[in-house]
């Protein structure tokens, strides 16, 4: 059975997740009624978010919080601010959070939030007012044992601090109500770099198992935000890899000898586009996909590896999905035909939510872990999940993605059955 050959624009996040779901559900012979439970969201809320702009006008934005499944624990997942964050995208991302938390075997379900807005067009005060108003409108769904937000695309520790303040002003001091907070407000050491660090740990395991040594290997990273930036720094500093090219929304930069990542990060911290970095040659975003490498890491938005654009031409050994849903189902099949392995998003980028779990536990216990302890536990958790996926993929002759789905579906289905469903 082949997935529909539709480009990202015609295939919603929801549809992408659905086609991948079926393949794994068939593998574990999941009953029809259970497929229905696991595919559909538990609860969805859409809110209108009126925001007083700096010039005195009121602008009204639309926001969503979708709880996909809470059988294994409180719903968990980030909030993104993006012009494309609509109902279907948020729903698809909420479902991925269910599979991600199940695959990591951490006691959470899956949720996602989004506001349809271009935050680059807002001042800092407008962003704060938007965040507070959105939090008020969804706060009825939130809570440390109900649903716990975290950062995602275009949100960060400061946004989480506003959410915490808004939530706590109604419910009393509740640091466990949100993760990815600033460390001085009860955030965890190591949370900010956790997604990038988790991607590196998975690459280290894959490197050992499949003979693609990280040391000296060529890495190309699309996206230089929280995931791509930390990953670039860590694979260069801790794994000895050569980051030959990176990009941001404006374009990319390439250096065959390996980019000087700390200098590039300092350049980016001054809000300058990576393509203006003096230590390499500027390239277009389209050209980034053609650079020969061992590891290609999409670490920005969804739907970037497609049949139309680049699935037949990317020149790498492994695609590591640092972003959520970067590969369309058709592109996924093309990569498989070409013998290019794909490490799926909900395995590769699960480091963020895993350290969110440690942050939540630290908040509930009012006890702080060291950065070393966080990293050690993260490595153990994500490596265990990786080994499970690798072994099942080998045993059943399926891709890593299908194996990862099968493990996650099995766990969530078991929790549903034990609850009487």
CA distance 17 to 12: 9
Asked if 246 contacts 259 with a C-beta cutoff of 8 angstroms, the reply is yes
In this chain, which stretch among 61-69, 72-80, 182-190, 295-303 interacts with ligand GLU, using CB under 6 A? 72-80
Min dist. Cβ of residue 101 to ligand GLU (A): 8
CA distance 80 to 19: 24
Site string for ligand GLU, 151-180 (x = CB under 6 A): -x--------------------------xx
Q: Closer CB to ligand GLU, residue 92 or residue 329?
A: 92
Q: Closer CB to ligand GLU, residue 310 or residue 324?
A: 324
- 414: Cβ contacts below 8 Å, ≥ 6 apart: none
Q: Is 113 in the site for ligand GLU (CB under 6 A)?
A: no
Length of the chain in terms of residues written: 421
Site for ligand GLU in 323-382 (CB under 6 A): 324, 349, 352-353, 356
Q: Which two tokens stand for residue 23?
A: 């393949």
Residues assigned a catalytic role:
112
Q: Which two tokens stand for residue 113?
A: 């939030």
Min dist. Cβ of residue 29 to ligand GLU (A): 29
220 φ/ψ angles, rounded to the nearest 5 degrees: -120, 130
Min dist. Cβ of residue 368 to ligand GLU (A): 18
Site for ligand GLU in 123-152 (CB under 6 A): 150, 152
Local structure of 331: helix, strand or coil = helix
In this chain, which stretch among 76-84, 228-236, 389-397, 399-407 interacts with ligand GLU, using CB under 6 A? 76-84
Min dist. Cβ of residue 222 to ligand GLU (A): 17
Among 41, 63, 74, 78, binds ligand GLU (CB under 6 A): 78
Strands 218-222 and 75-82: unpaired
Q: Is 77 in the site for ligand GLU (CB under 6 A)?
A: yes
Binding residues with ligand GLU: total (CB under 6 A): 13
User: CA neighbours within 13 Å on the CB side: how many for 181?
Assistant: 25
Min dist. Cβ of residue 420 to ligand GLU (A): 27
Q: Which residue has the tokens 């006691």?
A: 107
Taking CB atoms, the residue at the shortest distance from ligand GLU is 78
Q: Closer CB to ligand GLU, residue 222 or residue 356?
A: 356
Helices (H), 240-370: 261-269, 285-288, 329-337, 345-348, 351-365
CA nearest to 219, candidates 191, 196, 194: 196
Site string for ligand GLU, 213-232 (x = CB under 6 A): --------------------
CA–CA distances in Å: residue 98 to residues 151, 232, 398, 408, 412: 16, 27, 21, 8, 8
Local structure of 81: helix, strand or coil = strand
Q: Is 197 in the site for ligand GLU (CB under 6 A)?
A: no
Site for ligand GLU in 80-109 (CB under 6 A): 100
Q: Which residues bind ligand GLU (CB under 6 A)?
A: 76-78, 100, 150, 152, 179-180, 324, 349, 352-353, 356
């Amino acid at each position: 059975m082949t997935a529909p050959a539709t480009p990202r624009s015609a295939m919603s996040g929801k549809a992408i997740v659905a086609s991948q779901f079926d393949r794994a559900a068939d593998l574990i012979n999941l009953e029809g009624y259970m497929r229905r439970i696991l595919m559909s969201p538990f609860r969805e809320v859409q809110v209108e978010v009126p925001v007083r702009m700096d010039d005195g006008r009121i602008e009204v934005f639309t926001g969503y919080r979708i709880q996909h499944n809470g059988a294994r624990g409180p719903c968990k997942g980030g909030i993104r601010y993006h012009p494309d964050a609509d109902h279907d995208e948020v729903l698809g991302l909420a479902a991925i959070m269910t599979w991600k938390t199940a695959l990591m075997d951490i006691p959470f379900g899956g949720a996602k939030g989004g506001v349809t807005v271009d935050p680059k067009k807002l001042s800092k005060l407008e962003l704060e007012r938007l965040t507070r108003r959105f939090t008020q409108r969804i706060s009825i769904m939130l809570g440390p044992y109900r649903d716990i937000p975290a950062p995602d695309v275009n949100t960060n520790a400061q946004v989480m601090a506003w959410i915490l303040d808004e939530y706590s002003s109604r419910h009393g001091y509740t640091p466990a109500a949100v993760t990815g907070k600033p460390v001085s407000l009860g955030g965890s050491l190591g949370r900010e770099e956790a997604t990038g660090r988790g991607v590196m740990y998975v690459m280290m395991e894959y490197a050992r198992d499949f003979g693609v040594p990280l040391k000296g290997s060529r890495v190309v990273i699309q996206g230089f935000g929280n995931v791509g930036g930390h990953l670039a720094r860590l694979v260069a500093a801790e794994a000895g890899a050569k980051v030959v090219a990176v990009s941001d929304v404006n374009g990319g930069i390439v250096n065959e000898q390996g980019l000087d990542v700390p200098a590039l990060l300092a350049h980016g911290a001054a809000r300058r586009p990576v393509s203006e970095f003096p230590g390499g040659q500027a390239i277009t975003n389209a050209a980034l996909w053609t650079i020969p490498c061992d590891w290609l890491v999409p670490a920005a938005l969804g739907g970037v590896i497609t049949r139309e654009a680049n699935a037949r031409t990317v020149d790498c050994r492994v695609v590591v999905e640092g972003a959520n849903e970067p590969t369309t189902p058709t592109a996924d099949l093309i990569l498989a035909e070409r013998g290019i392995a794909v490490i799926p998003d909900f395995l590769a980028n699960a480091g963020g939510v895993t350290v969110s779990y440690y942050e939540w536990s630290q908040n509930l216990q009012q006890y702080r872990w060291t950065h070393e302890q966080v990293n050690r536990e993260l490595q153990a958790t994500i490596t265990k999940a990786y080994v499970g996926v690798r072994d099942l993929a080998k045993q059943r002759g399926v891709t890593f993605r299908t194996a990862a789905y099968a493990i996650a579906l099995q766990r969530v289905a078991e929790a549903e059955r034990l609850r009487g469903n």
